[in-house]
Each structure stands twice: as C-alpha cells, then as structure tokens.
Amino acid sequence: MEYEIAVDNELEKEIEVSVSSSELNLLMDKEAEKVLEKAIETSPTNQQGYWSLAQTRLYQGRFEDALSLAEKAVALEPNLLQSHLIVVRITQIIQDDELTERKIKEAIEINPAWATSLAPAPN
C-alpha cells in the first residue's frame, strides 16, 4: 500500500514569503549602501550622500560610522540644520553628553536660530 503525504502548500508559501521578505530587506539595505557609497565616490563634495549613508548606518546600529559620515556632511555644508540634527542625535544615542553639548554649541554658533531645534529634550 502506498500513501501520499499532503503538504500544506499555503504554509510552505507563507514561510517562503517570510524568508524572502527578510532577505529582500537585507538585499535592499545592501543595495542602498552600495548606491550611496558610489554616490559619495562620484561626488565627494556633495553632503547629501554622506547624510543619507549616515542615516543608513544609524539604522544598522553602526553608530561610530554614522557619526563620522554625519560630521563629514556638516563639514561640507555647515548651514543645513538637518545634518547637525543627525549628529546631535547620534551623540545622544551613544550617550556622549560632552560631545552632544559641544555639537549643539557648534551648530548654534553657525545659526543661533537653531537653538530651539537643537535643545536637548527634557528628561
């Protein structure tokens, strides 16, 4: 006597989709990273590439890399508040209060109107 084993194709598809989604997100992160790195290589004086890659590194938990890239973005275009904001946020994440305070002061020296935006959140 022969028996056939019925496979739950829906469950199998669900597992495949789940794995595929995780792999797809990883591939998209890697691809975005490659594109941003190439953008920096192609246009090393454009702060946007550094700022975007800094955010990517931040989301990956690569805080030191993120900070270095964000500081490069600030150096290239010191008059953009968004770059200063990400630098300050990274220093807060790594819990370097002295560096946070220094980065806030540096930004406010560039544009005193940023004081409200850069003020530390109340505890």
CATH of the domain at 76: 1.25.40.10
Classify residue 2: in a domain, yes or no: no
Per residue in 23-54, pLDDT (tens digit) is 545 556 778 888 889 989 999 999 999 988 99
CA distances from 46 to 82, 101, 107, 117 (A): 14, 26, 19, 24
pLDDT, residue 98, reads 96
How many residues are present in the chain? 123
Q: Are 90 and 76 in contact (CB under 8 A)?
A: no
Classify residue 95: in a domain, yes or no: yes
CA dihedral 94, 97, 103, 107 (to 10 degrees): 120
The pTM assigned to this predicted structure is: 0.72
Classify residue 61: in a domain, yes or no: yes
| Percent of the chain whose predicted confidence (pLDDT) is above 90 | 50
Count of domains for the chain: 1
Domain span at residue 88?
Answer: 10-116
Q: Are 67 and 94 in contact (CB under 8 A)?
A: yes
Classify residue 87: in a domain, yes or no: yes
| Percent of the chain whose predicted confidence (pLDDT) is above 70 | 74
pLDDT < 50 regions, the chain: 1-8, 11-19, 24
